[in-house]
Each structure stands twice: as structure tokens, then as C-alpha cells.
Amino acid sequence: MMRLVLIGFGEAAYNIASGLKAEGLTDIGAYDINAENPALNGLIQKRAAEVGVILFNSLESAYQAGDFIASLTSANVAYTVAESIIPYLKAGQVYVDMNSAAPTVKADIAKIPHVDGVAFCDAAVMGTVPGNRHKVPMILAGDGAEKFETVFAQYGMNLTVLDAEAGGASAIKMFKSVIMKGIPQLMFESFEAAQKYGVLDTLVGSLSGSLNGKMVEQLADTFIARTMIHASRRSAEMQDVVTTLESLGVDAAMSRATVKKLNQLAEKNWADKLGPNGDKLNYRDAMQFFIDK
């Protein structure tokens, strides 16, 4: 049996395999359906030869050969690929899904019928693979997480195991995306208006004064409780922002959504519920109040 077989041998799989090879993992195989495409076959063959990865001619021969079967295809086919493999695995094999699929998809994959002794690892890749290669941070969940970490941490992989069922790791990646993909949209909305006013650099400087050097925990402590308490006033301010943006021909979708969320917070009258020292609550306590009430 090979230690690792990759299902899908695109850029991410190639980079991870390359890094693992450099760390001394010699028995790596791969299967990629695109190897049947004349336009892509040459690149797949070239990368495999460069890294020393054995290419399999069929999906069946690939998954039968590995201790760990790692899927690096795409989110939209993650379940379909898993469904074509997991029922046929043998006890001792671990299926690892590294695709950026929703946590519900990962949870559904874990429920695919399989024989006793087959395990599943939900692996959330938390950074860019090119450049980081096998050392890209990954968060793991599911009944195969500890086994995967035990074997591959020794090859330099940056792995964190959660005490959570399959889906837990991918949930973190998805919730992180709310922030990391939302912030650029806020920048576009704000920066477009600032550019039209000719004050972009001054705006960035002002933001730097508010944000630079702050840890995420500090920002959360500053934002969460105070936003709950002052939601009504901030909603009115943001309505003026919307009016200004739209007068400039800027799509104010993010700011309009902010007004809506602030209005929802204002309806809860958090100032009374949190008390006179509510704005001093840390983000954990504030969020617990938010959930409980």
C-alpha cells in the first residue's frame, strides 16, 4: 500500500506532493480524470514525473492502493467523488477531503455507507497552497483526523486537530470567509467613493490610525458590544453614508446591508439588557448575550 494517494493532481495536489517528497515521503500516487484530456495530460505527466508521483490509470486502482486517500478535486464534485470511493474502501483506510466544500457537504460525506474501520477526515485548507506547499495550515475534524495528523505531521504538515465531527473544520474556513471575503467588498465600496472625492490616501491613513497594530481580539472587543449598544445611532449615520455613496454613483450594497443589520440590533434594545458597563464586555461575553437573548 502507498502512504498517500491524491485524487486530483492539479496545482494544489502537485504542490503538496512536492513538499512532502522534499520531507522524505517517497510513496505518493495520484489519479486525475483530466489525464484523459489531451490538452491537460502533458502537464499532469510532467508534474508527476518531476515530483516522482505514480499516476494511476483508473480511480479504482488509485483508491485501492493508498492508506490515505486525499481528495483535491473541487467543491462542486466533492460529494460525488467521495460517493464513488468511500463505500469501496477497506478497514484501515482513511478518506481525507481537502476541498473547499461546505460543512454540510463534509458531514454528508462522513455519512456515506462504509465498512467498519474506514475513517473520514474533514481537512480545511486555511491558506494558499502555492508558496506554502505541504506546510499550508490545515484544520482537521472527523474520526480520521487524529490518524492523519499522527502520520503527516512528521513530514512537516501544519495540522490542527479539532475535537469535532466532520464539518467542523470546514465550518471554520467558511466563517473565516465571511470576514476575509467581506472586508474587500467594504474596501471597494469605501475606496471607490474616496477615489471619486480625491481623498483615497487620506482615508487609508485614517483607517491605519484606527486599525494598525490591533489584534483581532482587540478589534472584536472594540466592535461587538459597542455596536450592539449604539446600533440605533450608527444606523442613522450609515443611512447618511448610503445617501452619500449613491449620490456618487457608488453601489452601496454593503452599507445598505449594514443599515439593515444595525436596525435589527437596535430593535433588541441591547443598551438596557447589557447595563451601564455593557460596552466594556469582551467579545466572548457579548456574543454569548447575543445568542442567549
* Residue-wise pLDDT tens digits, 214-255: 999 999 999 999 999 999 999 999 999 999 999 999 999 999
265-287 pLDDT tens trace: 999 999 888 888 888 899 999 99
d(CA 107, CA 102): 9
Confidence (pTM): 0.86
Residues 140, 184, 209: CA angle, nearest 5 degrees: 105
Residue type at position 284: R
Chain centroid to CA 51: 27
Domains and CATH numbers, the chain: 2-166 (3.40.50.720), 172-292 (1.10.1040)
Which residues are CB-contacts of 145 (< 8 A; sequence separation ≥ 6)? 121, 122, 123, 161, 162, 169
CA distances from 113 to 62, 119, 266 (A): 20, 11, 47
Average pLDDT, the chain: 95
Residue 112 scores a pLDDT above 90: yes
Residue 14 scores a pLDDT above 80: yes
| Grid cell of 153 as nine digits | 505531521
d(CA 112, CA 128): 29
Residue 79 scores a pLDDT above 90: yes
Residue 1 scores a pLDDT above 90: no
pLDDT class for 108, splitting at 50, 70, 90?
very high
